[in-house]
Amino acid sequence: MHLKFLFAAYGAAGVSFLATLIRDYAVINHTHQSKEFFQLLYVVSLAAGFGVNAITAGSGLLGRVALTLLSLLGVTVIVVMLPDSNTTPHTIILLVLILLLWIVGAHWSRSLLERGWVFFARVREAIASLALAVLVLVGIAVEPAFLMAAACGAAFSWLMWKASPSSMDSPPSGNTLRELRKLFISVVLTNVATFSILSWALIQTGSHGEVFGYEISTAVRFAMYLYQVLTIGAVVLVSLKGKLISEIKLGPIILVASLLFVASLFFPLELALFLLPLAAAVVHYGLVLLLQLGKI
């Protein structure tokens, strides 16, 4: 792995994480809609995760058929996972628009990665988070602010995509059944851990009460921060797959981490806040490594 790529990737991850903290602070302390916002955030993250992971982790740019199928899958997830309290035509349309903005933004960001603009490709989410924080602070309601922030992130990716040289773009991948099947397997495996912990976070956010003196919806954010920090290292870990595979038995590790994740669902929330992100991160690492090594 080139040192330049390492600094760019981790620098962008650090900026994005800091921007997430700023966004959440603004939403929690300057609105009365933090619980509603985090529910919407988890739902659209669940919906977009399949598409965004497929775009960023694939071997090349996706074709139109694949992007369309992933978008339709995301819309289905929104309809199924959206809590009853927020299930209105207005909210569904809002989340679908945000989903599409995230997917096209990820598509342009993937092009930037291929062109070597690693840092700019990975700060799209930071731009969106900072935009949402600013919009909330000036008094705009959470839902329209969320949509406008997503548009800012996508617009940033598009502007960088237009400004970067296109000579290094790879042609879009085909849409044969074999390629779509391989894409489906890759999407499921790279997203299963994140989907699981986001589903847990969505359910817990709808609960009432406090943990460690914080509302549950806020306390769950700390667990998601931990998961985000733990999975930042996936770039380096996957790059070392050739060295790791001869030293680590991935199957038993994934099994134990999966069992710990399931068991943690029945633990007190104070303990689950720490164990769930740890178990989910281990499962994520293991599955990504197995996929990269061609063992699945």
Do 24 and 133 fall within a single domain?
yes
* Token digits of residue 74: 């995301």
Do 126 and 185 fall within a single domain?
no
pTM, full prediction: 0.87
* Token digits of residue 220: 């769950």
Do 166 and 74 fall within a single domain?
yes
Q: How confident is the model at residue 87, as a pLDDT?
A: 80
Do 86 and 128 fall within a single domain?
yes
Sign of the CA dihedral running 158, 159, 160, 166: positive
Do 19 and 164 fall within a single domain?
yes
Q: How confident is the model at residue 230, as a pLDDT?
A: 87
Q: How confident is the model at residue 85, as a pLDDT?
A: 76
Q: How confident is the model at residue 179, as a pLDDT?
A: 65
On the question of pLDDT at 41 being above 70, the answer is yes
In residues, how long is the chain? 296
Quick one: angle between helices 3-30 and 124-137, nearest 10? 20
Q: How confident is the model at residue 246, as a pLDDT?
A: 46
Residue 79: closest CA among 55, 46, 35? 46
Domain limit, last residue, from 175, 201, 227:
175
Q: How confident is the model at residue 241, as a pLDDT?
A: 47
The tally of domains found in the chain comes to 2
Where in the sequence is the domain holding 6, given as residue range(s)? 1-175
On the question of pLDDT at 183 being above 60, the answer is yes
> What value, to the nearest 5°, has the Cα angle with vertex 225 and ends 221 and 230?
150
Do 13 and 149 fall within a single domain?
yes
The average pLDDT across 227-248 equals 61
Tell me 140's DSSP state: -
Angstrom distance (rounded) from CA 199 to CA 47: 11
| 150 residue type, one letter | A
Do 73 and 150 fall within a single domain?
yes
Looking at every residue in the chain, the average pLDDT score rounds to 83
Q: How confident is the model at residue 112, as a pLDDT?
A: 82
Do 217 and 244 fall within a single domain?
yes
Other beta carbons within 10 angstroms of residue 205's beta carbon come to 23
Domain limit, last residue, from 175, 208, 224:
175
Do 14 and 122 fall within a single domain?
yes
Other beta carbons within 10 angstroms of residue 240's beta carbon come to 11
On the question of pLDDT at 286 being above 90, the answer is no
Do 117 and 216 fall within a single domain?
no
pLDDT tens sequence across 44-76: 999 998 778 777 655 556 667 777 888 898 999
**217 in Cβ contact with 38 (< 8 Å):** yes
Residue 156: closest CA among 122, 114, 133? 122
The CA-to-CA distance between both ends of the chain, in Å, stands at 24
Domain limit, last residue, from 144, 175, 206:
175
Do 95 and 197 fall within a single domain?
no
At residue 294 the predicted structure's pLDDT band, cuts being 50, 70 and 90, is: low
pLDDT tens sequence across 110-163: 888 777 787 877 888 999 999 999 999 999 999 999 999 999 999 999 998 888
Do 146 and 187 fall within a single domain?
no
